[in-house]
Structure 1
């Protein structure tokens, strides 16, 4: 009876200690974002100009980047700088998340977290780079071409362009996570490689639906997102097949299954 009472008394203490640790992890993650932001804020206008370069290079000679909000010229560069600071600090932020949940994970799950986080971070950066260097110039060139026959001046508001850029960064960053998601689904046993192959047609249709919702309403922009999405799904299938084969080889050689 005394053991039960002590266990009940320890539960609030355990909850409070977890909340305190969570607060500490959040504060550390926030500081890790704030430090690079403070270091970069002086160059905020240059960082925004770097983001706006694909637009400026594809605007017609009479096109301009304009501000329609009184505070737009201040907050737009700040938002871009904060995004850059968050990307720089993201590995440390993910580490704080991992450190908080690690005590509740099994050993084989801990071994899986590190390569999963590193691969996801690298692929997200690749997606953003693909959007900036490939998608932005082509989409903006097409949009400028559409405006030319209308005789309309292409003057883009900084907030509208920032919203467009953020949407594209997130869309392509998440798209490049598809191989990790596919391998993870196979790893935890929710799907098999055979099922992934059988559902290719549905994935193609879903890719074009997602592209139609996220990208500007033209076929070229939709292809720029849908094609990589389908290609990365195929890469995920190949990676999952290699992973399953290597795991089976380990099991056949007498090594213990990491899922056990």
Structure 2
């Protein structure tokens, strides 16, 4: 009978709903089975001497960085003997700029971008339920090469100025082709940081700024007989 059916539905409906809710999985079970936390991720080595060699390699790199002022001083003392006075002045002007740009790129990658890249890769592998045991050698090389790529990419304004001063690319071409330049910068940023969009944008935005800085340098730095002319070399 219809009235009995309605009554049955009214009495069993809430019960069935409660049973359905009780059978839903616990929220903790909806999280990925593989929880990638930093204290759970270890580095592996395939060779017995690999950790020791990495320790030696890291020590040499840190020692070279600490001793770099003295190393560059002796290298410069050797090279400067074969340069003319205006060429030495050219180095005095642009070498500090190059060092500042390089350190800026390395610092950006090491202190900001690197953490985003590693976190993204670990989370991506976690979503695929892939157990990651990074090899020590590959991990150290990755940590070293990514900041190096940023530091070299930050030399863009000086490269543009050099190409403009030797007459290979006029400044008008830089101004006219700025859209193409942004596309090339985006591609380079994608290749240097093959990870998430955050790391790509972290490199892309500074490079776009440095590109237009290079355009301004080409337009407003005085021109003389050449790259090392007295027009913009200090006395």
Q: What is the TM-score with the length of structure 2 in the denominator?
A: 0.69
**Structure 1 235/73 Cα, relative in aligned 2: closer, same or farther at 3 Å?**
same
Q: Point out where structure 2 has 5 or more consecutive residues left out of the alignment.
A: 1-35, 225-229
Contact 1:60 1:154 in 2 (8 A): no
1:208 pairs with 172, 186, 190, which one?
186
**Conserved 8 A contact 2:120-2:196:** no
Offset of 1:130 from its aligned partner?
0.8
**In structure 2, C-alpha distance between the alignment counterparts of 1:84 and 1:181, rounded to whole Å:** 28
* 117, 124, 127: which one aligns with 1:149: 127
Question: Per-residue deviation at 1:133?
Answer: 0.8
Q: CA deviation at 1:217?
A: 4.7
Equivalent residues of 2:117, 2:195 under 8 A apart: no
Gaps (5+ residues) in structure 1?
Answer: 1-57, 249-255
- 2:43 counterpart SS class: strand
* Residues 1:240 and 2:218 are matched in the alignment: yes
Aligned to 1:65, the other structure's residue is in SS state: coil
**Is the deviation greater in 184-193 or in 154-163?**
184-193
**Closer, same or farther: CA 163–118 of 1 in aligned 2, 3 Å:** same
Structure number with larger C-alpha Rg: 2
What is the CA–CA distance in structure 1 between the aligned matches of 2:69 and 2:139, rounded to whole Å?
Answer: 27
Matched, 1:70 2:31: no
TM-score, with length taken from structure 1: 0.64
Matched, 1:116 2:98: no
How many residue pairs get matched?
193
RMSD of equivalent CA atoms: 2.7
String of CA shifts for 1:27-86, please: whole Å, max 9, x gaps.
Answer: xxxxxxxxxxxxxxxxxxxxxxxxxxxxxxx84442222323212211112222222222
Contact 1:124 1:177 in 2 (8 A): yes
**Runs of 4+ with deviation above 6 angstroms:** none
Which structure carries more relative contact order (alpha carbon 8 Å, separation 6+)? 2
2:76 and 2:183 mapped to 1: Cα distance? 35
Structure-1 separation of matches of 2:69 and 2:177: 33
Cα deviation code 1:66-110 (max 9, x no counterpart):
323212211112222222222333344434443333344332221
Map 1:82-161 → 2, pairs under 5 A: 82-161=60-139
Q: CA deviation at 1:204?
A: 2.0
Q: Counterparts of 1:211 and 1:233 in 2: how far apart (Å)? A: 13
Residues 210-239 of structure 1, C-alpha deviations (whole Å, 9 max, x = no match): 233332254444333333322221222223
Greater helix share, 1 or 2? 1
* Offset at residue 137 of structure 1 (A): 0.9
